[in-house]
Amino acid sequence: MHELGIAASILDVVSHEAERRPQARILKVGLRIGELAGVDRDALAFGWEVLTKDTQWDGLALEMEQIPRRQRCTRCGHEFPAPDFMTACPKCADPLTATIAGDELDIAYLEVEES
């Protein structure tokens, strides 16, 4: 259960961005969470709720975009989605493919209202 710590890290970034934009009201935080990031979205939502309750951030929405895993074949260069750990290249069957997406844990954007 490290999602509370992750929620706290998100809050740090949000607070920092809010200082940089004193005129703006932050309405939403957009996250990108890769399937390999090891983050439980429900636990993160819960941690976020606990952490922001009765603060100036109470009610601030977290939008989580789940990023599926994608691989690139190191032999033929083919790029493909890899659900259920099907990481071998579907084109040339090479098992040695590299992950190009799916381990993200990023704050992508903020939705703000400028006054």
Partner 1 sequence: MTQVAVEKKVLNENQILAEKLRETFRQNGIFCFNIISSPGSGKTALLERTLERLPKESRVAVLTGDLQTENDAKRLARFGFPVKQIITGGTCHLDARMVEKHLADWDLANLDTLIIENVGNLVCPTGYDLGEAFKIVLLSVTEGEDKPLKYPSIFFKSALMILNKIDLLPYVPFDAEKAKENARKVHPGMEILELSCTTGQGLDDWIRWLEEKRKSVMVPA
* Chain positions contacting partner 1, by CB under 8 A: 1-2, 5-6, 9-10, 12-13, 17, 21, 27, 30-31, 36-39, 71, 85-88, 95-99, 103, 105-114
Nearer to partner 1, 1 or 54 (CB): 1
Partners of residue 29 on adjacent β-strands: 62, 110
**Which burial class, exposed, middle or buried, applies to 43 when counting CB atoms under 10 A from its CB (0-12, 13-18, 19+)?**
middle
Nearer to partner 1, 9 or 55 (CB): 9
Nearest partner of 23 among 84, 95, 97, 114, judged by Cα: 114
CB of residue 16 to partner 1, shortest distance in Å? 9
CB of residue 6 to partner 1, shortest distance in Å? 6
Nearer to partner 1, 58 or 63 (CB): 63
Tell me the two tokens of residue 93.
């069957």
**79-81 sheet: strands from edge to edge:** 79-81, 70-73, 97-101
CB of residue 5 to partner 1, shortest distance in Å? 7
The whole-angstrom separation of Cα 112 and Cα 19 is: 13
The whole-angstrom separation of Cα 32 and Cα 67 is: 7
CB of residue 64 to partner 1, shortest distance in Å? 11
Nearer to partner 1, 54 or 114 (CB): 114
